[in-house]
Amino acid sequence: MPRADEVAQCYVDNSWLCGRYWSDYRPELVDATVQHLWITVVSVLAGLAVAVPLALLARRSPRLESLVVGGTTIIYTIPSLALFSLLLPFTGLSPTTVVIGLALYSLTILVRNVLAGLRAVPDEVRESAVGMGYAPLRLLTRVELPLALPVIWAGLRVATVSTVALVTVGSIVSYGGLGNLLLRAVGNQFKAQILAASLLCVALALVLDVVLVVAQRFLTPWTRRAG
């Protein structure tokens, strides 16, 4: 193990690899990672809560589908700085601004996957359920959504990983998790902090993706048996 004076030299040299940084800045790294995680989770869950009703509305007619899918696509094309600026008069400089913005961005992925999942349910399955006396709500919750879950979950994984990256943009309103560290580090060219924050972003995305894969295996056991 290198001596303290040797390790501290990485600050002087502004090295990318600086083990001392990880111990000296541990509280900041933990706080930023926790903030990054909860903003990601809340944003994706909020997006999913909005995406399901929108997808159900969109499948009623081709015209509604065009409006919903087109609208969510347009939102995704709005630059994050512009979108956050539009939200600021209503939400202020708060985590709510970031959560709402990221939830809106996730809709373009989630709405399409919910629609695709529902369409993948075989018509004969629906007809059989209706013949057994299933009401529309029961048909949706007991038949359609469970069978559509693998496709929906695939979209959820993509939305989650992309949201992990987008959270960093929240640093423009001071709520960007690891993005806050990146913004400060880029400004003063603090290489160790840039690398640490970037690695933690990648690690967080990988961990969340693995968690979602494991959760899907438990929620859709029939797909596991089929494989």
Helices (H), the chain: 4-13, 19-24, 26-58, 62-77, 80-91, 95-119, 123-131, 136-139, 145-167, 178-188, 191-219, 221-226
Give the tens place of pLDDT for each residue, 120-158.
998 888 889 888 888 888 889 888 988 999 999 999 999
Residue 12 lies in a domain: no
C-alpha R_g of the chain: 22
In terms of phi and psi (left: phi > 0; alpha: psi -120 to 50; beta: otherwise), the region of 51 is alpha
Residue 210 lies in a domain: yes
Residue 164 lies in a domain: yes
Amino acid at 154: A
* Alpha-carbon gap, residue 226 to 176, rounded angstroms: 41
Quick check: 148 and 117 in contact, CB under 8 A?
A: yes
Number of domains within the chain? 1
Average per-residue pLDDT for the chain: 89
Residue 16 lies in a domain: no
What CATH number should be reported for the domain holding residue 220? 1.10.3720.10
Residue 9 lies in a domain: no
Q: What percent of the chain has pLDDT over 70?
A: 94
Q: What is the model's pLDDT at position 36?
A: 96
Residue 53 lies in a domain: yes
Phi and psi torsions of 220, nearest 5°? -125, 65
CA angle 94, 199, 110 (to 5 degrees): 55
Tokens for 171, please give them. Answer: 């640093």
Residue 6 lies in a domain: no
Q: How confident is the model at residue 8 (pLDDT cuts 50, 70, 90)?
A: low
Give the tens place of pLDDT for each residue, 44-80.
999 999 999 999 999 989 899 999 999 999 999 999 8
Q: What is the DSSP letter of 93?
A: S
Residue 17 lies in a domain: no
Instruction: Kindly tell me if the per-residue pLDDT of 2 is higher than 50.
Output: no
Query: What's the pTM?
Result: 0.89
Domain span at residue 163? 30-226
